[in-house]
Structure 1
Amino acid sequence: MAAVPRASLGMFRRALATETGAGGHGGHQGGARTWKILSFTVALPGVGVCMLNAWLKMQHHSHETPAFTPYPHLYVRTKPFPWGDGNHSLFHNPHTNALPTAMRALATEQH
């Protein structure tokens, strides 16, 4: 397992030496090769680690919806929406989005 980081570090050092001119090439020779090596040795493993982290966090995530708190400032309607009944947003989801009428009912129920 330790051979993979060692090999990628060796490729990185060779690419860096070529880029800085230690390889005997003048100018900007090998810039594309350097970025290609960095993409395969740094970027792709980084994406893999991020995907693994997201998947592990998803496995431990609770799928329970939190209790609804009727914050009045979230449901201010100065004029109706121009579609449907004017009360539902364009991408309304009845499972996650509360309506002002439901909020008023909850507020009167709590008092």
Structure 2
Amino acid sequence: MTMREPSPLRAAEPFDIAGANARLAAANGGYEVVHRSPGLELGVYVLVAPEPDRQQPHEDDEVYVLLEGRGTLEVEGENVELREGHAVFVPAGADHRFVGYEQLSVLVIFEKWRP
């Protein structure tokens, strides 16, 4: 798995989702942050079978948007079938992972809670 950090924050910043997706696919998967600000993290997550999804529950709410592929997201024992263009909300602390995929490219949006 590869991980790449975003450049410093600017007032209006374009996000290279396609570029991140291509880099991660060439590296056989991983996660790349394309934007981080005090209340938000946006990243691209690529999974390539047979590599399993090793996610652990997160402390922030998140939304997954499938950019490419299809698969199943297991959330707290419930299966959600997903394909390109689908999105799903996963609450903070929920046990979840992708299964039954060959290759998935996912846009991940984390809402970062501020005290």
The TM tier, using the shorter chain, reads under 0.3
- Structure of higher RCO (CA pairs closer than 8 Å, 6+ residues apart): 2
Structure number with the higher helix fraction is 1
Task: Give the TM-score, by structure 1 length.
Answer: 0.17
Structure number with the higher strand fraction is 2
Of the two, which has the highest radius of gyration?
A: 1
Task: Give the TM-score, by structure 2 length.
Answer: 0.17
